[in-house]
Structures are given as structure tokens and as C-alpha cells.
Amino acid sequence: MEKEIIIEQLKEIIKPYVQEKEAFEALTEHTDFINDLKINSANLVDVILDIEEKYDIVIDNESMERMLNVKAAIEIISTKLADKI
């Protein structure tokens, strides 16, 4: 799947948990979920569960450990989607 499409879909997923609207509007690959978007660390679990549901993938513990920014999320989603085929 195209990276741009994943970013758009990811934005939809994280939107309800974002507390920094400006950083969200200016989101790039380098945006950090916690430092920039101020997503509550307990809500990061919801982001991960929402991603699992949306793409029908399983995010293992090692992947979850890295799930702190947009770039890592895209990489993890792309890899897991490729593994499915």
C-alpha cells in the first residue's frame, strides 16, 4: 500500500486521541505520538488496537515497543501487510 495512503488512514485512527491539534495538522513522518501530538500513553494502546483492527494485523510486542512515531507506525503497518500476502 502507498505510504501516503497509510499516512491518511493513520491520521484518521489517531485523531480522537490527539491533544495537540496544531501538531496534528502539520503531521509528518517525523511526528512523535507522545512528544508532539501529546497522545496519552494509555491511549497509545488504543491506537495500536485500532491499527490492528483496521488492517487485520497483529502488532507483536517488539513492534509495539517502537510504536512511538508516525514513521515507525508506517513501517510496522507496511511490513505486517506484506507478511499477510
Note the residues at the interface with other proteins (CB under 8 A).
35, 40-46, 48-49, 52, 61, 64-68
Residue 33 and residue 44 in contact, taking contact as beta carbons nearer than 8 Å: yes
Q: Nearest approach, Cβ of 48 to other proteins (angstroms)?
A: 6
Give the shortest CB-65-to-other proteins separation in angstroms.
Answer: 4
Query: Least CB distance from residue 3 to other proteins, whole Å?
Result: 22
Considering the complex, state which of residue 6 and residue 39 has its C-beta at the smaller distance from other proteins. 39
What is the DSSP secondary structure assignment for residue 46, as one 8-state letter? H
- At 81, list the grid cell: 501487510
Angle at 85 between CA 14 and CA 73, to 5 degrees: 25
